[in-house]
Each structure stands twice: as C-alpha cells, then as structure tokens.
Amino acid sequence: MILYGLKNCDTCRKALKSLPNAQFRDVRADGVPADVLAKAHGQFGAALLNTRSTTWRGLDAAERVKDPLELLAAHPTLMKRPLIDNGGTLYLGWGKDVQAALT
C-alpha cells in the first residue's frame, strides 16, 4: 500500500498513523507516477484537484483551465490528499468510507 501526500498535512499524518504498513511518498519531493495520476483522474475526475488549496488560489484563470493532469504534474500540491494505492485500488481522501475500507 502506498500513500501519496504531504509530510506536513494533518490528514495524511492521520491516515499514515492508522495504516502502519503503508509506504509514504511525499508528492512535493517525489511526485506521483504518471500512470497512477492518469488512473486516479479517470476514477475521481475533477475531485482529484483540491480547489480549496492556497496553490489553487494562487493560479491565474489561464492556468486553472489547463488539463488537470498537466496542472498536477506542474503543481503536485494541488492533488487532494491522501491518494492511497492499495494494490491497484485507489482511494482519495481520508473520509469515513475510506477508513472503513482500509482499517
């Protein structure tokens, strides 16, 4: 199981604490593999972008209309976190539904 997130994100820390066997990958330092991003975008669509983040608010209108995969490649912190890859099954966020499925 691989957890993609930010090391200073409280939600990612909670998820990592509850999933002691998960490998953590910091999206700022390591990025997310293109194939995982493409699969996540196909599964979650627009929900993959965190439009409430400070990174999103810092983008101008021209950048916001770009392809989401291009945006995530250029600004990995725009991804909603955590993105959890559990052997090919992807989960987004750390809501009660994800917690129930993984713990």
Provide the residue-wise pLDDT of the chain in tens; the chain has 103 residues.
999 999 999 999 999 999 989 999 999 998 889 899 999 999 999 899 998 888 899 999 899 998 888 888 888 889 999 999 998 899 999 999 999 999 8
Kindly name the residue from 2, 9, 69, 73 that is annotated as catalytic: 9
Q: The CATH number of the domain where 38 resides is what?
A: 3.40.30.10
pLDDT for the residue 73: 87
Report in angstroms the alpha-carbon separations of 23 from 3, 20, 33, 63: 6, 8, 14, 32
User: What six digits make up the tokens of 21?
Assistant: 């066997």
- Total tally of structural domains belonging to the chain: 1
pLDDT for the residue 96: 94
Q: Which domain holds residue 83?
A: 2-102
CA distance 84 to 93: 8
Active site residue 9: yes
pTM: 0.89
Q: Are 51 and 77 in contact (CB under 8 A)?
A: no
pLDDT for the residue 86: 92
Closest to 16 measured CA to CA, from 90, 72, 97, 81: 81
